[in-house]
Amino acid sequence: MSCHNRENSSRFKRAYNLVTELWNRSHPRLPVLQEWQEKGVFIDSLSATGQVWLFLHLHLPKKTTVDLVEFTEGARIATEANLRAMNSAAFPEFLAGKKNSSSDVADRLQQYTTPAYYNQMALRVKKNYLQRNFYVECEELIVEKAQLAGVGYRRLTEKQYEDLVAFKKPPAKRFSDATIEHLQLYLDVSTVEVLNVVRLDGKTNYVQNENVYRVVFESRVTDPEEVDWRIENMFIIEQKAVQRP
């Protein structure tokens, strides 16, 4: 057998083993897929085929399973905590080094976010406060729903993982010694927000928006014990201004 044929045969065996393992992990949990569909954990625009595709991707980790109902509820809580913290007077005052300011909000935010995302968000809030002379304060916030829009699975080295969460540096290539299984879950989170845009000269603008955020959560998933979901990125994909009563 030529080297080319042996290489093709080896690739086929690896692919076959992967598909077999994936089927063995996912098939017993097919009733869970129906439960997820009934509870609306997938985005409304996703087809049945797309839902099955995401379901299979969630079973790529060899040891860790994801309960989407539980996860989406946790995602709602984390997103709300993130929005309330960044839209507060206490956070920019702490970042600006104001006298008697407290680190409580910053400490709470860092529990829910990767270092890279926290630093990016903190820089934006600090610039608004110090250079553009305003901050945003949350008067009322309702998180209406959180739904799964996508799943990303990959294997990383320890260095690649640290670079990803600390600096948002994407892995440039795959290495044979990549032992960390990593998941990214992409959620669409719908909110209704009543906000006060407070200018440091004393003027305040009042706004009410209906927003949809794309929130990306990440975690190691090699072993269930090391799972720790954190927000890796978050940005608005839909926004509608609502007339305040």
Amino acid 245: pLDDT: 64
Domain map (residue ranges) of the chain: 63-241
- The Cα–Cα gap between 32 and 25 comes to 12
115-130 and 158-167 helices cross at what angle (nearest 10)? Answer: 20
Burial class (CB in 10 A: 0-12, 13-18, 19+), 11: exposed
Amino acid 172: pLDDT: 79
Q: What is the pLDDT of residues 87-140, one digit of tens each?
A: 999 999 999 999 889 999 999 999 999 999 999 999 999 999 999 999 999 999
The residue-averaged pLDDT of 136-147 equals 97
Are the C-beta atoms of residues 130 and 124 closer than 8 Å to each other?
Answer: no
Write the CA distances from 53 to 60, 150, 179, integer angstroms.
11, 9, 24
Mean pLDDT over the full length of the chain:
91
- The Cα–Cα gap between 181 and 161 comes to 10
Q: What is the pLDDT of residues 188-212, one digit of tens each?
A: 999 999 999 999 999 999 999 999 9
- The Cα–Cα gap between 92 and 131 comes to 12
CATH class of 63-241: alpha beta
Tokens representing 140?
Answer: 């009322």
Q: What is the pLDDT of residues 58-71, one digit of tens each?
A: 989 999 999 999 99
Amino acid 6: pLDDT: 54
* Selected residue with higher pLDDT from 225 and 171: 225
Are the C-beta atoms of residues 184 and 217 closer than 8 Å to each other?
Answer: yes
Amino acid 130: pLDDT: 97
